[in-house]
Structure 1
C-alpha cells in the first residue's frame, strides 16, 4: 500500500483521479486527509466533515472486477468491509442504507463514493472514497448525522480504524472475484430497513408505501409495492422517508 497523507484537500477522490490520469499508480494507492473542503457523496451531494476528527480516505483499486456487469459487486464489497470493521469495535445497530451509506440506528455515520474508469483495453480501475465520522461530536444542522464518538460516548483510534478498513477492503476485493455471493449475503443481511413498511417519495414528489426486498445485481433497490408488485429503482429515482 502506498500512502499519501495530506493536511487538507478539496476532494481525495478528485486528487486520486487526477493522479491516476498523470501516472501509473500502484494498486491500493491511498490518499488520506485531515480536512476536505469539497467532499462529495452520491450524485454530487455534499459531504461535510470537521477537521482532524474523521476518517477521510480514497483508495485506488486496479481491476477489481471481471466485467462491467459486476460493477455493483464493488459497492457491496466496500460497504460490507466497513460494516465488518465497525462490528469488531462493537458499534451498535449497524446497517447499510442503499446504496452506500453506513448507518448506526437511524443515523448516518459514513458514506462511500465509488468512481469507476473503463480503459480502452477493457480493464476497469476504481477510486473508492470513504468518509467515516469517528470523533466529531458537533452535527449542527445535520439531524440525521452522527459519529462513533456520539453513539458510543467514547473516543476512537482513527488511525487503527483506517488500517483495519484497508485490510478488510483488500480481503473483500479478493472475494469479489472468487465468492461474490458471500459478500452479497452479508450486504442483504445488513440492508437498512429491509422487510419494514416504509414511506418513500418518487421523482414526481409523490409519496407511497413500500417494503424493501433487496438490491438487484445491477444495484437497483427492489421494493414491494401496495399492489404486491416489486419495482426496481435506480439512485435518485426514489427517496426513503425515515
Structure 2
C-alpha cells in the first residue's frame, strides 16, 4: 500500500500552490500538503475557496502519473470525490451522495470542493496536484448568506459531535490512493470505482436537463460509465453519454 508523506502548515497561500512548488523542487510522489488556513485558496473556474482558520480540511497531493494518458487525468477529481465520500462514511454516522461529476453532498448540501491541476511538458503530464477542501467545523453563520442553504459541514450534520480534521485528511488520502493504484493499473479507466460511485449518485433515476452549447435536452440520469460520463435516457428512449467538460446537468423539480 502506498504511504503518503504528510507536511502541515499553520498558514499558507494555497496547498495546491505549495504542492506545485514541492514538485518543482523534486519532492517525492504522494507528498501531501495540508494547512490550518489558506490565504489564497482556489476552487474550480478561478473561484476562491475560503479556508478560515482551522475549521476546514485544506489538503493537496502531488502526483507523477506515469502511464496514464493525459486526457484521462481530469478523472482524478471523480476519484477524489469518491475518496471524500468513503472517508466521511468510514469515520462518522453520515450518509453521503455524489452529484455528478464530483460534488459530495450530505442531505443534498455540498460538503467539499475539489481542484485538480496539471502541468504538461512535450505532450505529457509532468505533475498533477489534486486539492481537496472539506467543511468540518463551520457553523451556519460561517457560510455566506447566498450559500447557506446549499453548503454544510461535518459538525453541522452531526448535531454537536465534533469531527477531526486530521482523521478526515488521513482517511481521504488512504481511500484516494487505494483507488489511484487501480486507476493507474487500468490505464485511466474508472471501472474500479463504479460500484462505490454509482451507489451514491445523487442524480440517479432523477429527471435532469442537459445544457449544451448546441442544444439542450431532458431525460433520466442512469449512472456514470467507466469514462466518467453520465448516461442519460432521453425521452425518445435512446441512451446518450454526456461529458462534464461539454455540458452542465441541472436537476428539475427542485432537485439540485
How high is the TM-score relative to the length of structure 2?
0.81
Residue 17 (str. 1) matches residue 20 (str. 2): yes
Pick one of 158, 162, 171 that aligns with 1:164. 171
RMSD: 2.7
Q: CA deviation at 1:20?
A: 2.2
Work out the CA distance in 1 between the residues paired with 2:191 and 2:249. 27
Deviations 1:139-181 (A, max 9, x none): 2322200011001111112111212222222222212134652
SS class of match (1:14): helix
Q: CA deviation at 1:4?
A: 2.6
Q: CA deviation at 1:107?
A: 0.3
Alignment CA distance shift 1:201-1:48 (3 Å): farther
Count of aligned positions: 240
Gaps of 5+ in 1: none
Contact 2:205 2:222 (C-alpha < 8 Å) held by counterparts: yes
Gaps of 5+ in 2: none
SS class of match (2:169): helix
Alignment CA distance shift 1:171-1:24 (3 Å): same
Q: Report the counterpart of residue 81 of structure 2 in structure 1.
A: 79
Contact 1:73 1:176 (C-alpha < 8 Å) held by counterparts: no
Deviations 1:209-242 (A, max 9, x none): 4322233544343333334343524347314242
Work out the CA distance in 1 between the residues paired with 2:103 and 2:205. 18
Q: CA deviation at 1:207?
A: 7.7
- Identify the range of structure 1 (96-105 vs 149-158) with the bigger mean alpha-carbon deviation: 96-105
Residue 140 (str. 1) matches residue 150 (str. 2): no
- Identify the range of structure 1 (132-141 vs 62-71) with the bigger mean alpha-carbon deviation: 62-71
How high is the TM-score relative to the length of structure 1?
0.85
Q: Report the counterpart of residue 156 of structure 2 in structure 1.
A: 150
